Structure 1
Amino acid sequence: MYSPPTPPLRPAAPPAPRPALPHSTTYSAESFDDQVAWFLDRYSGGFQAPLWEGDMRGVGAKSRLKRHRDAAVEQAQKLLSEDRLRFQLTLGNTEQIVTDLSTVLSKTTLVPIGQVKQLDRLDVQQRAALARALVEHLYPRESEGSFAGLIKALSPALSNLRGSWAFVTALRGLVFPKEHACVQPGKFALQARIMHRELPDAGKPSERDYHAYRALAREVERELRQRGLAPRDLLDVLDFMRTTLSPRARATLAGAAGRRRMRLGGDLNARGVA
């Protein structure tokens, strides 16, 4: 329909304001599907992609790197096996247990090397207490208390227990990677925000809070499997979070979220939503 031009002496009406996007409790600056899309763009075969298996798991590597998970798991399951640890306890060789613990953690990217070196602060009695606590933590004979016992044994060495989540959880995460999660609170917090889940504040590690972190890792694993991906274990899940929530990846995710927001705004405008 023809509309006559606005008379020249009459000011033009101001443009209608752009409708505000409706508030949604399910909207995030990034989405889990954005993470998966970024992951598959880089690793087109998913967790079985040769690039992923080579970079992260160390498959076919000529020499081991700290980020290679398969070698780390193999070493942890050998040096920290129940038979070996209990045999060392029987011999009273607690020093060897602490040495093996240091060896396992120092050869991964899971724990800051500075924290591992802090074990040198422990005297003979403290190292013996740590060895016993480690065995009970990995292979508990009682259902409760092993987590708190390990924290207590580590407290003389670690200057910042609030920052010791990676140290404490990497032990079970390497020995039992299909059942236990290595917790890195910063990445887990970002993942929880994207998935609209609540996590406890990353204070001093505790068994109760650990269960909340592990539940999130399990949920990420389920979401990946529902999308046809097959993480080998919870180390793959952790590295999925680490790679897709890196600064470089998050810049890409933020761009995807911005485009999605613009499309949503355009759709609302087209429908005349105010």
Structure 2
Amino acid sequence: MRVVFAGTPEPAVPSLRALAASSHEVVGVVTRRDAPLGRKRVLTPSPVATAADDLGLPVIKADRLDDAATTEIAALGADLGVIVAYGGLVREPLLSAPAHGWINLHFSLLPRWRGAAPVQHALIAGDRVTGAAVFQLVPALDAGDVFAELRYDVPRGATAGDVLDDLATSGADLVTAVVDAIADGSAVATPQEGEPTLAPKLSQADGALDFREHADRVLDRFRGTTPEPGAHASLDGQRVKILAALRGPDAELAPGRVALVGRDVLVGAGEGSVLLRTVQPAGKGAMNAADWWRGLRSDAPQLDLPGAAS
């Protein structure tokens, strides 16, 4: 079949490469426009745009699938659209332009975690099993019938970045198998079952760690917001990024109290403690948590608690 692919970030790249290597013809790639990155705000192509260039595929850059983009994409004459984390909505008439419509690779077991950040929300909620699903795109958010899915046991200590990397790889095989099945007429899609939950895009505020919670819940949020939007705490009003952390021993430390115990930096939680490995104070580079602690001016530093009265 003639396939048009839409995607933007790194987790979409394995699916694009798998389709390009398949028996189907990728007639065009849709991705968001170059974005300013880094301190110098250099305009940088998306990972999908870069991969498409490497593969010699024509690229359409659009932040919104407006009338102009719709006309350009429809002119490709695709039999099927495949979308993986594009970052924009496909509406009519583009939704019905390909003969087989559009399918979407989504990184959750639908209908759980419909939305832009399914892996992040799954980890924040403490889910120990998640997965990926390929479904028929419909106007309602992530509500279409499901062609295929895979289950994934979340490894202990895995961050959202780790899980996305794994699901992007295994999901590429899943989406390619569904495209094959649609091509040969054997594909069957079934309605979603169960109560939907939503996974909206996260903001920087979602990465704030509240050490009044159980240590396990603190770490769920840490893992779910790492690497994006980034887990953090604050000390005397100054943000400290938490780059690596794990479960600490039970310790008699008040929530948010930071202590050096042997070689380990522990932070008290509502129950248990969190062991900090790597942090990044405001205006500085990443550093070992013990080195950071030794540079503090207090022998009993106390992290700010979100929402607590000053």
TM-score interval w.r.t. the shorter chain? under 0.3
Bigger RCO (CA 8 Å, 6+ sep): 1
Q: Give the structure with the higher percent helix.
A: 1
Q: Give the structure with the higher percent strand.
A: 2
How high is the TM-score relative to the length of structure 1?
A: 0.28
How high is the TM-score relative to the length of structure 2?
A: 0.25
